[in-house]
């Protein structure tokens, strides 16, 4: 079976993205797993390579079709947006613009059939906004670039999978946005993703919004009965194994021990907290519902350690593994 080509976006050039990319691509297991092409800046990757002490050579190319994937070489579709000596560890509109352009080019590359999946290094939302691109994050940016009206964020760790009904909005706004149709669509995206991954009839647990799932109206204002229960019932009517709304604290414990294949979280921190407690180095972010495969590290730009060569590449390695697992097997 051929190794799929994965387009890795460099993320924010002022963060740890360039360093973890060079560390990950120096690993023989990753070289054996896929044909990687970085969408970014060749000179910045060279700087990062020197910082982390790798002997990899960075080869600038104009498109993935020029890549030869020689041992010891990192192929980079070089956009040339980052000036030499650009500082690490600082919010910069230059880096924000670069992060946007890398994603834009990666989408074009996959849509043209030149890569089978996108794997993203972290970007800075503040830098993205400073460059004039007002997106909450990668997920919403990718949705617009691919013309996708609605996507979901899924986080995956070795012991837990979580898909989110809402993500980058305030808690009050999240509760207002949650409604049965949205919850049902998110459950369906999670179900379909796991079925494609080989889990024939996944066990799905759906979080409540309020403590103790509202405890029959004692907590909250009936949100569970109004916003979540109709969606659960609609999915169960399809023959799916869906349970909820369940108290989130209990559900995550049960899922962590293997009782559920995926948890449906209602808002950002409800889902992110348990995943990150299990370890940032093991988490992977997958955008579900896009016409392209996209995985990502589950951590930020880490400006406080950027440029020091100490960033852990573990999450990027796992994200690349997930991209390969999900990517269609074809010649690219």
CB-based burial label for 59 (10 Å; 0-12, 13-18, 19+): middle
Which residues are CB-neighbours of 241 under 8 A, at least 6 positions away?
A: 201, 202, 203, 204
CB-based burial label for 304 (10 Å; 0-12, 13-18, 19+): exposed
Asked if residue 332 has pLDDT above 60, the reply is no
Spatial separation of the C-alpha atoms in residues 245 and 231, rounded to whole Å: 10
In the predicted model, what is the mean pLDDT of the chain? 93
- Which helix (H) or strand (E) segment is 217 a member of? none
Task: Check residue 224 and report its DSSP letter.
Answer: I
As given in the structure block, the two tokens for residue 263 are: 């948890």
As a residue count, the chain comes to 332
Domains of the chain as residue ranges with CATH: 5-150+290-326 (3.40.718.10), 159-273 (3.40.718.10)
Q: What does the pLDDT read at residue 279?
A: 66
Spatial separation of the C-alpha atoms in residues 299 and 79, rounded to whole Å: 24
Find out whether the peptide bond into 152 is cis, omega within 30 degrees of 0. no
Give the pLDDT band (50/70/90) at residue 2.
Answer: confident
Q: What does the pLDDT read at residue 330?
A: 46
Asked if residue 164 has pLDDT above 60, the reply is yes
Asked if residue 331 has pLDDT above 60, the reply is no
- 96-135: b (≥16 Cβ within 10 Å) or e: bbbbbbbbbbbbebbeeebbbbbbbbbbbbebbebbebeb
As given in the structure block, the two tokens for residue 118 are: 């996108």
β strands within the chain, DSSP E:
5-9, 35-40, 57-61, 73-78, 117-120, 152-157, 160-164, 203-207, 241-246, 262-265, 284-288, 293-297
- Residues 69-105 have pLDDT tens digits of 999 999 999 999 999 999 999 999 999 999 999 999 9
Give the pLDDT band (50/70/90) at residue 20.
Answer: very high
Between helix 268-277 and helix 248-256 the angle, nearest 10°, is 40
Task: Check residue 210 and report its DSSP letter.
Answer: S
Give the pLDDT band (50/70/90) at residue 257.
Answer: very high
Task: Check residue 62 and report its DSSP letter.
Answer: S
Give the pLDDT band (50/70/90) at residue 127.
Answer: very high
| Percent over 90 (pLDDT), the chain | 79
Q: What does the pLDDT read at residue 280?
A: 57
Q: Are strands 160-164 and 152-157 parallel, antiparallel or unpaired?
A: antiparallel
- Residues 271-314 have pLDDT tens digits of 999 988 876 566 788 888 888 889 999 889 999 999 999 999 99
Within 10 angstroms of residue 200's Cβ, the number of other Cβ atoms is: 6
Q: What does the pLDDT read at residue 198?
A: 79
Output the pTM of the full model.
0.83
Q: Are strands 152-157 and 284-288 parallel, antiparallel or unpaired?
A: antiparallel
Q: Among candidates 249, 279, 9, 17, which has minimal Cα distance to 155? A: 279
Give the pLDDT band (50/70/90) at residue 210.
Answer: very high
Q: Is 263 helix (H, G, I), strand (E, B) or coil?
A: strand
Query: How far apart, in Å, are the Cα atoms of 256 and each of 248, 262, 270?
Result: 12, 10, 14
Cα 52 to chain centroid, rounded: 24
More confident residue, 208 or 140: 208
| Percent over 70 (pLDDT), the chain | 97
Q: What does the pLDDT read at residue 328?
A: 63
Q: Which of 78-92, 162-176, 211-225, 257-271 has the lowest mean pLDDT?
A: 211-225
Give the pLDDT band (50/70/90) at residue 41.
Answer: very high
Beta-bridge partner residues of 5: 35
Q: What does the pLDDT read at residue 277?
A: 86
């Amino acid at each position: 079976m051929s190794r799929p080509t994965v387009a890795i976006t460099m993320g924010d050039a002022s963060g740890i993205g360039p360093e973890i990319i060079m560390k990950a691509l120096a690993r023989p297991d990753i070289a054996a797993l896929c044909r990687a092409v970085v969408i970014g800046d060749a000179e910045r990757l060279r700087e990062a390579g020197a910082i982390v002490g790798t002997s990899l050579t960075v080869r600038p190319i104009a498109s993935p079709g020029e890549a030869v994937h020689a041992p010891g070489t990192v192929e980079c579709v070089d956009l040339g947006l980052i000036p030499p000596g650009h500082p690490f560890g600082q919010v910069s509109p230059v880096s924000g613009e670069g992060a946007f352009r890398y994603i834009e080019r990666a989408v074009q590359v996959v849509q043209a059939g030149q890569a089978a999946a996108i794997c993203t290094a972290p970007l800075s939302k503040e830098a993205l906004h400073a460059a004039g691109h007002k997106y909450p994050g990668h997920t919403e940016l990718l949705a617009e670039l691919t013309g996708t009206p609605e996507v979901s964020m899924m986080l995956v760790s070795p012991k837990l999978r979580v898909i989110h009904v809402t993500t980058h909005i305030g808690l009050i706004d999240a509760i207002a946005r949650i409604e049965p149709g949205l919850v049902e669509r998110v459950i369906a995206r999670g179900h379909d993703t796991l079925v494609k991954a080989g889990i024939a009839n996944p066990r799905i647990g759906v979080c409540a919004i309020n403590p103790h799932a509202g405890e029959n109206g004692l907590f909250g204002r009936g949100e569970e009965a109004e916003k979540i229960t109709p969606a659960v019932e609609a999915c169960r009517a399809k023959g799916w194994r869906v349970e909820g709304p369940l108290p989130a604290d209990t559900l995550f414990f049960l899922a962590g021990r293997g009782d559920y294949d995926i948890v449906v979280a209602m808002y950002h921190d409800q889902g992110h907290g348990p995943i990150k407690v299990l370890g940032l180095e093991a988490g992977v972010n997958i955008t579900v519902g896009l016409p392209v495969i996209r995985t990502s590290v589950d951590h930020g730009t880490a400006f406080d350690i950027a440029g020091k060569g100490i960033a852990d590449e573990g999450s990027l390695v796992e994200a690349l593994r997930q991209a390969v697992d999900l990517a269609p097997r074809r010649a690219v």
